[in-house]
Structure 1
């Protein structure tokens, strides 16, 4: 959040900050342009959403617009009409708003799209598998990201979790991460009343936290969520066993996901090889859902 007039002692700022922290674990306020730019360029593996005042944004946005990790920009000002022209010239500027509420609504949609599209994949070409087999190499010669995800899955499914103890550990961690208390209490008080799939699909912190941990192979967070990952996996496995008898033939499911040019080329090169998604996947039997997802990404 870049604004020369930020006053952290003001009630309006604290209310806006609280609203943003219901969406993001990390919110960094800046009053100095150079410090903000240094921060933007120091982040390598995460998408950044920037809220900027119009006075600083008009001169700063053209300079930072092409920073790869900067995904979306919102202009926060009281005079929207005055700044429409320059904002339209910058494709990453997605809106000009005079209050924090509409910005928060757009940020929620943006983070949901980000979590959906950022699910990582490991590509192993058929040639690499054949070479490993012909030379009798071990599986540890395969890409590290693939091996880490396979090993973690094997370990996490074998651990005998104490749900109450694991929940207390997760709750303490969530409080350290400034997760809204109302969401923490909801999870802790009602966890066993709902299914793991229900919790995973509920629009709250759990979905994003789990996806980010799996995407970045953040072992600390993955271990804290281990009991939930195990329960979610087991429920999906049980549903598959119960329903698979009803489907005698293979069928197609659809999923729309944004790919970088590099990943798309890796996908083409991996035909006949292995493709591993390091996450839980949401799909649909309706191709329309795929088209909608793709159009939203574009």
Structure 2
């Protein structure tokens, strides 16, 4: 198992790039991966449709996104389209007109593109929505007759909300705690230059008055906190 698979995921979703021509010795592939890693921390690379299907099945509980070449996508999409946690498929190809014809028959295909830039833009919007959807707070009416039952129902969401509030607003974080958090995040986002810049900025500038700003910012803080809720 490679280093990417060994690292615990810091985010709530799975992103797979599947293309029979993936070769990290190729500058074009390096550039594609760099741009994708500007949106997500980990990109699972597959060179066959079978490996993509296997990866999706192994992570069936995660919301997933697939970026596929047109050649593989034409055969892969019918096999994976019905997977309930598959949120979106993006076709990355050299001939847009050729692949748009068959792609229009599949609702989870969010676009056919010849530029990774546009896929990254759409993927960023989808992932932001994914993060927002997974942060929920339930308000439950507690009546005298069924107070015990409702309290049991309330407990998980209430506890998550209270813990989150304490982390953001109530805890007095010393410099050592900040250093420990920075070290942890640097390990999680190793190789992700965009997020590492945010982490360096966090280490230099963080103070308690900025905690909400850091949580709502679209970077590692938002992604990792959403995963804990």
TM-score norm. by structure 1 comes to 0.62
Instruction: Determine the C-alpha separation between the residues in 1 that align with 2:203 and 2:171.
Output: 21
Q: Which of structures 1 and 2 has the bigger CA Rg? A: 1
Provide Cα deviations, 1:262-298, integer angstroms capped at 9, x if missing partner.
xxxxxxxxxxxxxxxxxxxxxxxxxxxxxxxxxxxxx
On the 8 A contact 2:65/2:86 being kept in 1, the answer is: yes
**2:97 counterpart (65, 68, 81):** 81
Q: Name the CA shift for 1:188/1:160 in 2 (closer, same or farther; >3 Å).
A: closer
Query: Which secondary structure state, in structure 2, belongs to the residue aligned with residue 29 of structure 1?
Result: strand
Give the match for residue 226 of structure 2.
Answer: 211
Q: Name the CA shift for 1:90/1:154 in 2 (closer, same or farther; >3 Å).
A: closer
Q: CA RMSD in A?
A: 2.7
Per the TM alignment, residue 77 of structure 1 is displaced from its structure 2 partner at its CA by 0.5
Per the TM alignment, residue 203 of structure 1 is displaced from its structure 2 partner at its CA by 2.8
1:243-282 map, 5 Å: none
Q: Name the CA shift for 1:14/1:144 in 2 (closer, same or farther; >3 Å).
A: farther
Instruction: Determine the C-alpha separation between the residues in 2 that align with 1:105 and 1:150.
Output: 31
TM-score norm. by structure 2 comes to 0.79
Give the match for residue 30 of structure 2.
Answer: 14
Per the TM alignment, residue 193 of structure 1 is displaced from its structure 2 partner at its CA by 9.4
1:42 aligns with 2:58: yes
Per the TM alignment, residue 100 of structure 1 is displaced from its structure 2 partner at its CA by 1.2
Q: Name the CA shift for 1:76/1:67 in 2 (closer, same or farther; >3 Å).
A: same
Query: Which secondary structure state, in structure 1, belongs to the residue aligned with residue 79 of structure 2?
Result: helix
1:190 aligns with 2:196: no
On the 8 A contact 1:183/1:204 being kept in 2, the answer is: yes
On the 8 A contact 1:167/1:188 being kept in 2, the answer is: yes
Per the TM alignment, residue 31 of structure 1 is displaced from its structure 2 partner at its CA by 0.8
Q: Name the CA shift for 1:159/1:32 in 2 (closer, same or farther; >3 Å).
A: same
Instruction: Determine the C-alpha separation between the residues in 2 that align with 1:49 and 1:56.
Output: 15
Query: Which secondary structure state, in structure 2, belongs to the residue aligned with residue 4 of structure 1?
Result: coil
Q: Name the CA shift for 1:197/1:126 in 2 (closer, same or farther; >3 Å).
A: closer
Structure 2: which 5+ runs fail to align?
Answer: 1-16
1:37-116 map, 5 Å: 37-116=53-132
Query: Which secondary structure state, in structure 1, belongs to the residue aligned with residue 95 of structure 2?
Result: coil
Per the TM alignment, residue 200 of structure 1 is displaced from its structure 2 partner at its CA by 2.6
Give the match for residue 131 of structure 1.
Answer: 146
Count residues in correspondence.
208
On the 8 A contact 1:122/1:145 being kept in 2, the answer is: no
Instruction: Determine the C-alpha separation between the residues in 2 that align with 1:160 and 1:184.
Output: 20
Q: Name the CA shift for 1:158/1:184 in 2 (closer, same or farther; >3 Å).
A: closer
Per the TM alignment, residue 11 of structure 1 is displaced from its structure 2 partner at its CA by 2.2
Instruction: Determine the C-alpha separation between the residues in 2 that align with 1:110 and 1:41.
Output: 21
**2:156 counterpart (134, 142, 145):** 145
Q: Name the CA shift for 1:44/1:121 in 2 (closer, same or farther; >3 Å).
A: farther
Instruction: Determine the C-alpha separation between the residues in 2 that align with 1:150 and 1:212.
Output: 13
